Amino acid sequence: MESDLQLKGKTVVITGSSKGIGKETATLLKDLGANLVLGSRSNTEKISGTVLELPLDVTNEESVKAFYEQSIKHFGAVDVLINSAGVGMFASVIDSSVEDFDQMILVNLRGTYLTCKYFGKHMAENGKGHILNLVSIAGTTALPGCGGYSASKFGVLGLTKVLQLELRQKGVQVTSVHPGAVSSSFWEQIEPKPDMSNMIPVKTVAKHLLYLINQPPGAFVDEITIMPPLGIL
């Protein structure tokens, strides 16, 4: 089926592109001929064919603005924005670090707000476009040890719902994507390590994103939940 999904000429922006879901999605879309703008804190500016890699700090408005302007300058228009930049630190609320809490709000919520603000305006002016915000099941379900993470992700879900109402009549689709636990690099800095054997393969999530941006015309997908076979892990 993937061989039938051609993205040649379509420009897709991906934040958090250096690892995890963002990296896997970028690899998949590149193979299907998409123009890609890849943003990450670890990137240096590099152009290779239809792939533009740029440094990006989603918490910093000037960085997001420069990233947006270079994207438009290079490709002329952006069709899809995939917000996959995110961080997670886990502890009970009373034992959590204020610094960790602030960082999650900055990256997960403020970062999504800033990219949606700039690219959303561009799409609204063009009368078309698709924003996919990676929320998480922790943005819809209360989970012990996820206070700061859930607060940021519940915020992203609220922001996404408002964007749906504000942009729908302007031809822009906004989709909230809620994966359960994904077997990705997200867990590298987390101790103790969870059992990842029954988590969703990262490539599976990337394929779901691919199908979302290739859906037939005539309908918008507002929300999708992607769960491990055995449920929340």
CATH number at residue 7: 3.40.50.720
| Residue 144 resides in a domain | yes
Predicted TM-score of the model (pTM): 0.93
| Residue 188 resides in a domain | yes
Looking at residue 139, its amino acid is G
Q: What is the pLDDT of residue 191?
A: 67
pLDDT at 2 exceeding the cut of 60: no
Mean pLDDT (the chain) is 93
Q: CA dist 200 to 20, 136, 187, Å?
A: 12, 12, 13
| Residue 232 resides in a domain | no
| Residue 231 resides in a domain | no
Q: CA dist 108 to 35, 39, 47, 51, 158, Å?
A: 25, 15, 27, 25, 13
Domain of residue 145, residue span? 2-226
Q: What is the pLDDT of residue 189?
A: 65
Distance of CA 93 to the CA centre of its chain: 25
| Distance in angstroms (rounded) separating the CA atoms of residues 53 and 7 | 18
| Residue 113 resides in a domain | yes
High-pLDDT (> 90) share of the chain, %:
82
pLDDT at 1 exceeding the cut of 60: no
In the chain, the number of structural domains is 1
| Residue 121 resides in a domain | yes
pLDDT digits over 174-193, tens only? 999 999 988 876 766 666 67
Residues designated as active site = 149
| Residue 163 resides in a domain | yes
Q: What is the pLDDT of residue 3?
A: 44
| Residue 214 resides in a domain | yes
